[in-house]
Chains A and B, each alone.
Chain A
Amino acid sequence: MSLVNPVFIDKIKRLGAFDINACFSCGNCTAICPLSDGENSFPRRMIRYSLLGLEEKILSSPEPWLCYYCGECSDTCPREADPGSLMMALRRYITRKYSLGRLADLFYSGLSSLTTWLLLTLMGVVGILLFHSQPNLEKVEPLSFISLDFLHKAGLVLGVFIGFFSLAQLLVMVRHLSMGKGYKRPTLRGLMRVLSREVFLQSRFRECEDRSRHLPHLSLFWGFSLLFIATVLAFGVDFFGFPPASKILARVLGLSGGILLLYGGGYFLLRRFRAQDYYSRRSHHTDWIFLLLLLLAGFTGLLLDLFHLLNLIWPAYITFAVHLVLVFDLLVSAPFTKFAHAIYRPLALWLSGY
């Protein structure tokens, strides 16, 4: 017996599924969805769970994470109920529910979201004001402004924070999914397949009728990843004694990562701004913020490089400060925002045998 929650759907609507009540269960969405098969009535089952407020069923369903939001369901829906938007709204809902101490709640409703982002940014700014040192004014030398030691310590704290929450929330996900209908025992093979096909190549994007998102999304992913690797490498030279050649490698990786990130981020920002595709027509504020943070972090990183090269003293230091604050915002919030799909989605895929 599942207890119906009559008011549940209000929450989901607020998270972006504005028209879902119009659904009359015709099943066109299921017929068109590339992900639905004999046992999985994608995405109709999720619509029913949502309308009836079967929260536990939703929390134990991998479906919202498997959806690519190609929009074909929304396109074929005779009632314009926009099932695709529902899947995205459910991701947001699940991200909130899985988060430890419901911390993610802070990021999803208008006022609290604004306050949270302002506070986080303020934290970053205050941190820099408190811990910066007198920079080298002759030559741009970022680490003379913010010391390596501080970055190391701050990074450590941030890493532990993110790691703790991510791990804990992944366990929450495992607990829920293992109770669900779609649960399959995870295998090593499965993990390899998820990592290669879904994470590194993201080839499933190509199964959508509209394949245009594949490259930009892949660029975004690799752009961020390369920048992360570059940062670790560069850091490693100064801190862990990596061979100095790593620094050149870091430069190359960082530069290409930055370009990829700008391309992917810019592409999606433009699409969302134009609001013509199903996935971009209705952007939630969480979509905007995530995208903007990614893009601005990448942009300021490249700008810093440029100013560094041109030896523009103050512009470089200010850009560096802004970059650090943005990166801080992006990372500290990662387990609770749209960023979290980077860990939830692969895990959901793995645990549902995809």
Chain B
Amino acid sequence: MSKRRIGVYICHCGGNISDYVDVEKVRRAVEEEGDVVVAKTTLFACSDSAQQEMMEDIREKGLDAIVIASCSPKLHLFTFRSMAQRAGLNPYQYVHVNLREQDSWTHTDDPEGATEKAIKLVRAGIRKARLSRPLQPLRVQTERAALIIGGGISGLRAALALADMGIHVFLIEKSESLGGWVARFKSLYPSNRDGQELINSLVERARGNERITIFTEASLVEKSGVVGDFKVKIKVKGEELTLKVGAIIVSTGFEEYSPSEGEFGYGLEGVVTLSAFKAMVENSRGSVKFNGKEVSSVAYIYCVGSRQNEGNTYCSRYCCNATLHTALMASELSPSLRQFHIYRDIRTYGKNELLYESASKKGSVFVKYSPEAPPSVVRENGRLVVKVRDLLTDGEELEIPVDLVVLVTGMVPPQERELLEVLKLPVGRDGFFNEIHPKLRPVETVIDGVFIAGAAQGPKNSYEAVASALAASAKVAGLVLKGYAELEPQVASVDEEKCEWCGKCLEACPYSAFERVEYRGKEVARVIEALCKGCGGCVPACPADAIDVKGYEDVAIREMIDGLLEEKK
């Protein structure tokens, strides 16, 4: 290995690191390392000025590798990669060392030890940098088409957005008709718009769009290929069909929580779910009626199926708003209707606060229960009675006689086992599909080219679902309109000289990214780079030691270990 020119930057992280790690000592310890041309400390490596300085060093001192010892690569790996690129250094010749999560934050009680550890970590980084080679991202030609799974408001809106951008859309819906939940509601908060009308207008536009192909009673059965170039098999009314698409949007929505028998009196006559009550209100004429009888009082029990101690621990977000909106509709219909809202916390966020205010001014009474003492619903002498300890009234035990009890049921993820199996999408503890990062990458999944939209990701109301559908559409367009997709070059590669095909690598690979090819008269394995995720699962499986992951070669790892173990005064 020829002489390298390495720059080392050690970040204070504004005290996060330097409060426990003597960064100056670290700098002094590593500046004498071989091939190190520059060693500096910096208050915030991620700041514009620090990046500028590093870029100048790269250019002026002709650095061919850099080590930045700062926070977790989760935070700034890409920041520094793009900095390197701008300075003309191949981004894969930059090595990230995590001195914060893996050192200073973990060893706040031992600054001296933390400093020692930091020196070793940086040394290991330098060793790796010394062996770094320039890598080029892999390119895949992208298909100008997308598959959308789920024809609710999110799927429909995403389909129109994509079609408008010139992308062909295959929209598959498992039921007979499009529209999902929104189509069932006659009045949506906060605009009071008719859900069916809203859906009809979207469906009409979608059906009239030549770039949108709609399949109802359809489901996804198989997916292969890579980001930008997927081959998907769908089953439409029993018939199988293969399509080529560049990206996939999953907008499979949610299901309503179904209370178990006896949960808050569910099963008793007059105990209904929110959606049932909403339908009742929407279909009543003159006044709110249940089984033909006029309803004079209602109690709503909030957070049914949401925010449970065990089970669904999340808040379903839409329910407070939807309940108060329905309560207002009900009081419009029956002005003398008495409404009791038995809640834990009212979360009518944003503009929806007005729903709470008007419901309250129109006579709705709010009773707050504690999760330790949830309300109970019984039928006594022919009347429904809600028993609850009211935190707003000195913890008074109340008995509220009502005609109807509405269980404000939350959202649960739909049971889509097959889809999960086909897409291998991770779900969170709540059972909804997981995004990569809630703030920074909210509609992307860890499966490249597969995006999530709407309530499939977690409880959302219709306008939030549409916003996320449009976000997913933008990400899809960004991917497929460019014409190609770039993939990480840190993939496996096979040394054909060493390889004698045995198939162990293919067995070990979760992505089937190996093929058997001829090489100088023998059979060897070759990596299908577009499929490889660089997980390294094949490396130890190879009996001939013929496989390496680029950027994480065995020799580099060994060097790093040596660097960590090196003892110097």
Give chain A's interface residues, CB within 8 Å of chain B.
1-4, 6-7, 9, 19, 21-25, 41, 45, 48-49, 51-52, 54, 57, 79
CB-based contact A1/B360 at 8 Å = no
Among the interface residues B361, B399, B401, which one has the most CB atoms of the partner chain A within 10 A?
B361
Q: Which of B61-69, B279-287, B389-397, B436-444 is the contact stretch?
A: B389-397
List residues of chain A with CB within 8 A of the CB of B360: 21-24, 79
Cross-interface CB contact of A52 among B362, B393, B402, cutoff 8 Å: B393
Alpha-carbon gap, A7 to B397, bound state (A): 19
CB-based contact B365/A52 at 8 Å = yes
Cross-interface CB contact of B392 among A2, A9, A48, A79, cutoff 8 Å: A48
Q: Which 4 A-B pairs have the closest CB atoms?
A: A6-B338, A48-B393, A4-B400, A25-B392
Cβ of A41 to closest chain B Cβ, rounded Å: 8
List residues of chain B with CB within 8 A of the CB of A41: 394
Alpha-carbon gap, A107 to B370, bound state (A): 43
CB<8 Å pairs between A and B, sample of 20: A1-B397, A2-B396, A2-B399, A6-B296, A6-B338, A7-B338, A9-B365, A21-B360, A23-B360, A24-B357, A24-B366, A25-B366, A45-B394, A48-B392, A48-B394, A49-B393, A51-B365, A52-B393, A54-B393, A79-B357
What 1/0 flags go to B507-551 for Cβ under 8 Å of A?
Answer: 000000000000000000000000000000000000000000000
- Does B108 touch A at the CB level, under 8 Å? no
Give chain B's interface residues, CB within 8 Å of chain A.
296-297, 338, 340, 356-357, 360-368, 387, 390, 392-394, 396-402
Alpha-carbon gap, A18 to B360, bound state (A): 13
CB-based contact B398/A4 at 8 Å = yes
Given contacts A21-B361, A21-B363, A52-B365, contact A4 B401 (CB under 8 A): yes
List residues of chain B with CB within 8 A of the CB of A6: 296-297, 338, 340, 400-402
Cβ of A22 to closest chain B Cβ, rounded Å: 5
List residues of chain B with CB within 8 A of the CB of A52: 365, 367, 390, 393, 396, 398
Given contacts A7-B338, A48-B392, A49-B393, contact A2 B361 (CB under 8 A): no
Cβ of B168 to closest chain A Cβ, rounded Å: 51
CB-based contact B361/A22 at 8 Å = yes
Alpha-carbon gap, A45 to B390, bound state (A): 12
List residues of chain B with CB within 8 A of the CB of A9: 363, 365
List residues of chain A with CB within 8 A of the CB of B340: 4, 6
Cβ of B522 to closest chain A Cβ, rounded Å: 80
CB-based contact A2/B363 at 8 Å = no
Who on chain A is nearest to B297 by CB?
A: A6
Known: A4-B400, A48-B392. 20 other contacts (CB 8 A): A1-B397, A1-B398, A2-B398, A3-B398, A4-B399, A4-B401, A6-B296, A6-B401, A9-B365, A19-B361, A21-B361, A21-B363, A22-B357, A22-B361, A24-B360, A25-B392, A45-B394, A48-B393, A48-B394, A52-B390
Cβ of B466 to closest chain A Cβ, rounded Å: 30
Query: Is chain B's binding surface mostly helix, strand, loop or mixed?
Result: strand
Alpha-carbon gap, A6 to B366, bound state (A): 12
Who on chain B is nearest to A49 by CB?
A: B393
Among the interface residues A2, A4, A45, which one has the most CB atoms of the partner chain B within 10 A?
A4
Who on chain B is nearest to A23 by CB?
A: B360
Cβ of B500 to closest chain A Cβ, rounded Å: 77
Alpha-carbon gap, A38 to B365, bound state (A): 25
CB-based contact A3/B393 at 8 Å = no
CB-based contact B399/A3 at 8 Å = yes
Cβ of A59 to closest chain B Cβ, rounded Å: 15
Who on chain B is nearest to A19 by CB?
A: B361
List residues of chain A with CB within 8 A of the CB of B390: 48, 52
Alpha-carbon gap, A45 to B391, bound state (A): 11
Alpha-carbon gap, A274 to B20, bound state (A): 70
List residues of chain A with CB within 8 A of the CB of B393: 45, 48-49, 52, 54
Alpha-carbon gap, A52 to B401, bound state (A): 11
List residues of chain A with CB within 8 A of the CB of B397: 1-2
CB-based contact A1/B363 at 8 Å = no
CB-based contact B387/A1 at 8 Å = yes
Cβ of A322 to closest chain B Cβ, rounded Å: 45
Cβ of A9 to closest chain B Cβ, rounded Å: 7
List residues of chain A with CB within 8 A of the CB of B396: 2, 48, 52, 54, 57
Alpha-carbon gap, A45 to B340, bound state (A): 18
Alpha-carbon gap, A165 to B363, bound state (A): 36
Who on chain B is nearest to A6 by CB?
A: B338
List residues of chain B with CB within 8 A of the CB of A48: 390, 392-394, 396
List residues of chain B with CB within 8 A of the CB of A45: 393-394
List residues of chain B with CB within 8 A of the CB of A4: 340, 398-401
Among the interface residues A3, A41, A48, which one has the most CB atoms of the partner chain B within 10 A?
A48
Alpha-carbon gap, A107 to B391, bound state (A): 37
Among the interface residues A6, A19, A49, which one has the most CB atoms of the partner chain B within 10 A?
A6
List residues of chain B with CB within 8 A of the CB of A49: 393
List residues of chain A with CB within 8 A of the CB of B297: 6
Alpha-carbon gap, A264 to B356, bound state (A): 44
List residues of chain A with CB within 8 A of the CB of B363: 9, 21
List residues of chain B with CB within 8 A of the CB of A57: 396
Cβ of A200 to closest chain B Cβ, rounded Å: 34
Cβ of B558 to closest chain A Cβ, rounded Å: 65
Alpha-carbon gap, A4 to B399, bound state (A): 6
Alpha-carbon gap, A35 to B196, bound state (A): 55
Cβ of A150 to closest chain B Cβ, rounded Å: 52
Alpha-carbon gap, A4 to B397, bound state (A): 10
CB-based contact A1/B399 at 8 Å = yes
Among the interface residues B356, B357, B396, which one has the most CB atoms of the partner chain A within 10 A?
B396
Cβ of A283 to closest chain B Cβ, rounded Å: 23
Cβ of B381 to closest chain A Cβ, rounded Å: 12
Alpha-carbon gap, A51 to B360, bound state (A): 11
Who on chain B is nearest to A41 by CB?
A: B394
Who on chain A is nearest to B364 by CB?
A: A21
CB-based contact A3/B365 at 8 Å = no
Cβ of A282 to closest chain B Cβ, rounded Å: 17
List residues of chain B with CB within 8 A of the CB of A1: 387, 397-399
Who on chain B is nearest to A51 by CB?
A: B365
List residues of chain A with CB within 8 A of the CB of B296: 6
Alpha-carbon gap, A21 to B341, bound state (A): 13
Cβ of A281 to closest chain B Cβ, rounded Å: 19
Alpha-carbon gap, A54 to B367, bound state (A): 13
Cβ of A60 to closest chain B Cβ, rounded Å: 13
Alpha-carbon gap, A52 to B397, bound state (A): 12
List residues of chain B with CB within 8 A of the CB of A51: 365
List residues of chain B with CB within 8 A of the CB of A24: 356-357, 360, 366
Alpha-carbon gap, A174 to B97, bound state (A): 79
Cβ of B380 to closest chain A Cβ, rounded Å: 11
Alpha-carbon gap, A24 to B396, bound state (A): 17
Alpha-carbon gap, A9 to B338, bound state (A): 10
List residues of chain B with CB within 8 A of the CB of A21: 360-365
Who on chain A is nearest to B359 by CB?
A: A21
Alpha-carbon gap, A6 to B360, bound state (A): 14
Among the interface residues B338, B340, B393, B401, which one has the most CB atoms of the partner chain A within 10 A?
B393
Among the interface residues B296, B338, B392, B397, which one has the most CB atoms of the partner chain A within 10 A?
B392
Cβ of B71 to closest chain A Cβ, rounded Å: 42
Cβ of A336 to closest chain B Cβ, rounded Å: 29
